[in-house]
Structure 1
Amino acid sequence: MDFAELEAIEGLRWPWNSWPPSASSSAELVVPLSVLFTPLMPVSDLPLLPYDPLSCSSCSSVLNPYARVDYRSAVWSCPFCLVRNPFPRAYAGIADHNLPAELFPTHSTVEYLLSRSPASFESSSSLAGFDAVKAVAGSSFVFVIDACTEESEFRALKNEILHVVAQLPENALVGLVSFGAMVWVHDLGFSDCSRVVVLCGDRELSSEKIQDLMGISRQHHRKLGLSQSLKQGFLLPVSECEFNITTAIEELILFNALPGHRPQRATGAAISAAVAIIEGCAPNSGGRIMVFTSGPATVGPGMIVETDLSHSIRTHQDLLSGHAPFAEQARSFYRQLSQRLSDRSLVLDLFACSLDQVGAAEMRFPIETSGGLVMLMETFESEQFKKCLRHIFKREGTDHLNMHFDATVEVVTTKEVKICGALGPCMSLKKKNSSVSEKEIGQGGTNTWKMSTLASKTCLAFIFQVSTAQKAEPSKVFFIQFMTRYRHGNGGLRLRVTTAARRWAATRSPEIVAGFDQEAASTIMARLAIHRTEEYHARDVIRWLDKMLVRFSSKFGEYIPEDPSSFRLSSNFSLFPQFIYYLRRSQFIDVFNCAPDETAFFRLMLNREGVVGSLIMIQPTLFQYSLDGPPIPVLLDVSSIRPDVILLFDSYFHVVIHYGSKIAQWKQLGYDKDPSHENLRKLLEAPELDAKALVEDRIPMPKLIRCNQHGSQARFLLARLNPSITQKSQLVNGSEIVFTDDVSLQVFIEHLQALAVQG
């Protein structure tokens, strides 16, 4: 069974494609019953239906190919709850030779163009005149700019934001907030001169108070008896304020720090003000709050360090030992902010260009739950920053941005299946019904989740369990349906419905073994491990992974008890221990030599990626280029480093072109420029072209590193290789060495076999 081909049809990956019929037998599988769902995956032959869906009167599931249809009575039976539902008049003439698209056996996924607005999109504002304009306007974009950036960096940042503004659709709403010790909210509708509202950066103000100070509060309007359609200029369509916002960005003033001190940055207060602007001016528009900063918050809400440079920014050790005095308060502030973002379908993005940390670890929760991006770079002048920002606003010839907002995912299951929760960029809406389990994992306690935005690659992991109250029968079919409602980039409302069917199988059945997808299972285990790092120390998470793997190997391995040499795993299980080995050594779990901000970034990215991207993060790919023939994949092992080859290493975040010592010497001597060495020139070109293809459409754009064998930059490659040759090994001439106390993959597998055969 090709699970990747099945994913192209359904948009789903199942670690187990057959499920055991009881809670106790499913617990024995070790890897939980789960589904990786990419809501907007471009599936093959997706029908776009120009009418509203037909829902079951009992469980609200949508008509699908698994429904039983009685053509004579014009009735369909819901496969989830077995309730019979009549077809409306629009379906008159339905027959086995005249089926609507949603009943085609090949259309397990369909998309509907919804004709009516859900309540979340309807304007409820008392500022009716003003919001009527916003209802037909596009999405909102508020640029939050750090005014304590170095001059050359500031110039590059302003140029890029001006480029973005020039590319926005005319109906997109824009706002501008800048900050230092204070927060400046720019009035883009005031053309006589530059006008700003100044807010204190050192205190936490409520949304209502901020709106009151800016004069956009509904209560403020009523008190003063002002017209409800009073014009304001903090959030305006680009067509009305392009000149003003361009001028305001160009005229932004820099603020320098005192000697021996960090600049005073009120980052949290600035973000809160940006949210308040959209809450007050266009509460139903959806949009992005894009923060551009070059240092940590040092005043007000979200503060992570004092301005005095003698106080260092918190490390992982400080967070563990409780020596990070501001961390918990900052996290609490941002957690409260995440609910405001979710309520208004707003996305929080962080672009941090700094050699120091900026507080991304504390900001991770609202960024992740809103579906936002984090970019950690050294400079705003880098190509990495420019390409990423421009890619976000890429339009590809359409008159609207390729961004989808205000999404919800609702899951319907058959009565034997219970929903434990979801892991990924979403928030629980706490909507409980009979299918929701008492056990919560991640965002749980619900059958419906909210996402402020959805991209084609956004992937959610849903965890399930077998009901203890309902008995499932082996060989019978069970169903799960995912209903994704979202607002398309063109403003239209859509509903994508994916219905999947799988079978119950007896606990020891070959079907369960044959249906194991080790790539999807590794991705689920990685997300569960990251989830555990929120509460447990990294060493405890590694012990948990080891314990799970031993149980798994003991359950599914073939062996003679107490004889490790007899241990075998079948082909569709054999790579799973290897993936877990690389996961426990990865930067997601082992935070040594990583700053908290970097760790937050890595974990946030893994939590949203699909199976292919996640596996590259867990176990990077390594290709070898030589004069002997075409490129070939080689083992992710230190023994793959040789003087006469070039290696192309892809860890998702870094792409490394590693030149062997001989190749580096030939290159240094300029042999590749000699016409008689055409083969060498082609050899050097090949990895460059392949590396360019790898980084092209990946966001955030990976850092491309070129290094020579024994060079300092080679550490990016060496750190992720299997250390089969270390300082303790018997050395072979010319072999590369990894200086580490970590065990090699071979030693790890030997230990695993020894423990697994003990039963």
Structure 2
Amino acid sequence: MNFPAYADGSVNGFAVFLVLVIVYFHQFQIIDLLGIHPSARQHLGKPQGVQKHGFVLPVSECEFNITTTIEEIHQSSPLTPGHRSPRCTGAAILVAVALLEGCSATIGSHIMVFTSGPATMGPGMVVSQYLTQSIRTHRDINTGHASFYWKSCAFYKQISEKLTDLSMVLDLFACSLDQVGATEMRAAVEKSGGFMMLAESFESDQFRKCLRYIFSRDEEGFLNMCFDATIEIITTKDVKICGAIGPCVSLRKKNGLVSDKEIGEGGTNIWKLGTVTDKTCITFFFQVSDEQKAQPGTAFFIQFITKYRHGNMGIRKRVTSAARRWVGCGAPEIAAGFDQETAAIVMARLAVHETEKNFPREVVRWLDKELISFASKFGDYICEDPSSFRLSSNFSLYPQFMYHLRRSQFIDVFNSSPDETTFFQLMLTREGVVGSLIMIQPTLSQYSFDGPPIPVLLDVCSLSPDVILLFDSYFYVVIHYGSKIAQWKKLGYDRDPDHENFRKLLEAPEVEVEQLVAQRIPVPKLVRCEQHGSQARFLLAKLNPSATHKSSYVDGSEVIMTDDVSLQAFIEHLQELAVQG
């Protein structure tokens, strides 16, 4: 890596950990190691600087030493058969925090952890070194058989509090075929606003692109890193603040604007964020006060005061004010102003928050109960007549969003490791509405000889032997070749000048995929598969099973071997429950 191109002007330190944590000293002269303490004096009107010492220096002074150190990293000793590699990840993070605290780096900093396996010793230990003891699963955590889980989570919760106090951000880059303990580290990464990436190898393009994104610069040449941010909310007395869900921490500063009901990070009107970017997205929850009823037609206000330290170390403040008018219960403005896409994302974040306290099955019951209540309140129907049930266009898509949310990897953790579930949920709670909606209900596009690409239903009926399907679920992108398309491709028709249209058909989804991969961080995994191939499972798992092995279907048509209920059956059952008196 070319450090001047990425981090010139910042200060850097470097540590390697296995059995011991080795902190590299970047100066050739000897200094008093015990002299690393924060400066007690500050000059008014000037930002607190970084006290330099041999462990943390500007990259211009230590580039050669860091580059040499990275090149010389190697396994310290042969791995004992039947044992995992020794790693003291938690201890290394503690040392990094202490070094940054010691050099007065409280103006904002990143601790970036690069690991290829779980911690097997020291604080934050995830699993023992013996391979005979497997790493914890969801079942182990739920049944209390994860020996190190709760102790490790408590350790990283303490780390997260320290990171918040010192305005530090913890980033995790985990490249391994096995789990690394991301679930235990979730609190420290999420609350500090850190970046998490799970990949298979440090040699992958996914890792390289994510690292380049972290060190990207703005038009003025400053790093796109904003630190030590706070968000303060001021409302009129009729609106109470319940809390927030996202990469933030409650500062527990309660006043008359704060509701007694807490949702997520609540009990405050000020939140702290370790870092903010142009993609940071936080959900705030409010409650209408019961103390006095607002009159329809009168206005209420919500003001957001955002303060942060820019990449040039300057303090910036942005004030955003929103004004709305009260309307009476049942007013047509409620339906006209309902944003079903945003509502689906808010419910998804609430569901993820519920999974921290309840089992997935209980969360699904809660989602179903809320959906039935929603349909009963906003639907048009004749009591006890399901066939009369209708939802207006502003509400009609919301039930299918909930259907796909129930089946998603955020709630249904079957076939996902705890680390994967943590990564998925962390991304959902910080991504914007468009990206989060793709995570819940992926998009499906069809490419054929009949014309330009068109969106098609996320349904098994969209599978066809003579089309190419492009499936985007945010975390992975699938190019699915129909059986005929795959056969023609194997025969080399795309290389035949007489079949120019076929070559263009194959190129069209590839061009679209390149654009998707270039715009998205973390970079999604690309899967190319054929109809009836093993890799087609990435697509089949997300399709609506309108035709299964148990339903009636025409010979030769596609079916999905599953016991899941179809969207049609789900909607019919919802209508039956919604119209009950």
Q: What is aligned with 1:570?
A: 392
Residue aligning to 1:237: 58
Alignment CA distance shift 1:324-1:441 (3 Å): same
Distance 2:530 2:273 in 1: 44
- Cα 1:490–1:213 shift into 2, 3 Å: closer
Cα distance in structure 2, aligned partners of 1:399 and 1:458:
21
Correspondence 1:288 to 2:126? no
Question: Among 408, 423, 443, which residue is 1:621 paired with?
Answer: 443
1:191–1:244 contact (8 Å) kept in structure 2: no
Question: RCO (CA 8 Å, sep 6+): is it higher in 1 or 2?
Answer: 1
Matched, 1:688 2:510: yes
Instruction: Please report how far the alpha carbon of residue 301 of structure 1 lies from its aligned counterpart in structure 2 after TM superposition.
Output: 0.7
1:177 aligns with 2:8: no
Aligned mates of 2:411, 2:74 — CA distance in 1: 42
Q: Secondary structure at the match of 2:406?
A: helix
SS in 2 for 1:308: coil
Correspondence for 2:580:
758
Larger radius of gyration: 1
Equivalent AA in structure 2 for residue 505 of structure 1: V
Runs of 5+ unmatched residues, structure 2: 41-49
- 1:494-513 mapped onto 2 (5 Å cutoff): 494-513=316-335
Counterparts of residues 301-700 of structure 1 (less than 5 Å): 301-395=123-217, 398-700=220-522
Q: Distance in 2 between matches of 1:170 and 1:670?
A: 50
Would the alpha carbon gap of residues 216 and 637 (structure 1) be closer, same or farther in structure 2, given more than 3 Å must change?
A: same
Q: 1:663 to 1:219 in 2, by over 3 A?
A: closer
Question: C-alpha distance in 2, partners of 1:238/1:498?
Answer: 37
Q: Which moved more, 1:586-595 or 1:371-380?
A: 371-380
Residues 621-666 of structure 1 show CA distances to partners (whole Å, capped at 9, x for unaligned) of 0000000000000000011010000000000000111000000001
Question: SS at the partner of 1:376?
Answer: strand
1:103-147 CA-to-partner distances (Å, cap 9, x unmatched) read xxxxxxxxxxxxxxxxxxxxxxxxxxxxxxxxxxxxxxxxxxxxx
Shift in Å at residue 685 of structure 1? 0.5
Report the counterpart of residue 5 of structure 2 in structure 1: 167
- Tell me the equivalent position of 2:26: 188
Q: Which runs of 4+ in 1 moved over 4 A?
A: 212-215
C-alpha distance in structure 1 between counterparts of 2:425 and 2:69, whole Å: 36
How many residues are matched?
571
Aligned to 1:216, which of 30, 36, 59?
36
Distance 1:191 1:380, change over 3 A: farther
TM-score (normalizing by structure 2): 0.96
Amino acid at match of 1:342: T
Quote the offset at 1:168 in angstroms.
3.0
The amino acid across from 1:236 in the alignment is L
Work out the CA distance in 2 between the residues paired with 1:249 and 1:214. 26
- Provide the C-alpha distance between the structure 2 equivalents of 1:379 and 1:387, rounded to a whole number of angstroms: 13
Following TM superposition, by how much is the alpha carbon of 1:544 offset from its aligned partner in structure 2, in angstroms? 0.3
With 269-278 and 236-245 compared, the bigger mean Cα shift is at 236-245
1:178–1:184 Cα contact (<8 Å) kept = yes
SS in 1 for 2:345: helix
Q: Deviations over 1:683-720 (max 9, x none)?
A: 10000000111111211110111111111111111111
1:278 deviates by: 0.6
Deviations 1:202-229 (A, max 9, x none): xxxxxxxxxx976414599xxxxxxxx9
Query: Aligned in 2, Cα 1:732/1:238: closer, same or farther, shift over 3 Å?
Result: same
Indicate whether 1:735 and 2:551 are aligned: no
Cα distance in 2 for partners of 1:474, 1:316 equals: 49
Give the aligned partner of residue 111 of structure 1.
none
- Do residues 249 (structure 1) and 87 (structure 2) align? no
1:390 and 1:172 map into 2 onto residues whose CA distance is: 16
Q: 2:535 aligns with which of 713, 719, 723?
A: 713
Instruction: Mark the CA change 1:711 to 1:234 in structure 2 (over 3 Å): closer, same or farther.
Output: same
CA distance in 2, matches of 1:417, 1:573: 25
Counterpart of 2:184 in 1: which secondary structure? helix
- Secondary structure of the structure 2 residue equivalent to 1:361: coil
- Name the amino acid aligned to 1:674: D
> Following TM superposition, by how much is the alpha carbon of 1:399 offset from its aligned partner in structure 2, in angstroms?
2.3
Unpaired runs of at least 5, structure 1: 1-161, 196-211, 221-228
The question of whether the paired residues in 2 share the 8 Å contact of 1:176 and 1:234 is answered with yes
Decide which moves more: 389-398 or 442-451.
389-398
Task: Calculate the TM-score normalised by the size of structure 1.
Answer: 0.74
Alpha-carbon distance between aligned partners in 2 of 1:191 and 1:644, rounded to the nearest angstrom: 70
RMSD: 1.7
Identity of aligned residues (%): 66
Q: 2:385 and 2:338 mapped to 1: Cα distance?
A: 26
Amino acid aligned to 1:295: G
Q: In structure 1, what is the equivalent of residue 98 of structure 2? A: 276
Q: Aligned in 2, Cα 1:169/1:264: closer, same or farther, shift over 3 Å?
A: closer
Does the C-alpha gap of structure 1 residues 215 and 261 become closer, same or farther in structure 2, counting only changes over 3 Å?
Answer: farther
Q: Is the 8 A contact 1:168 1:238 kept in 2?
A: no
Shift of 1:189: 1.9
Q: Match of 1:747?
A: 569
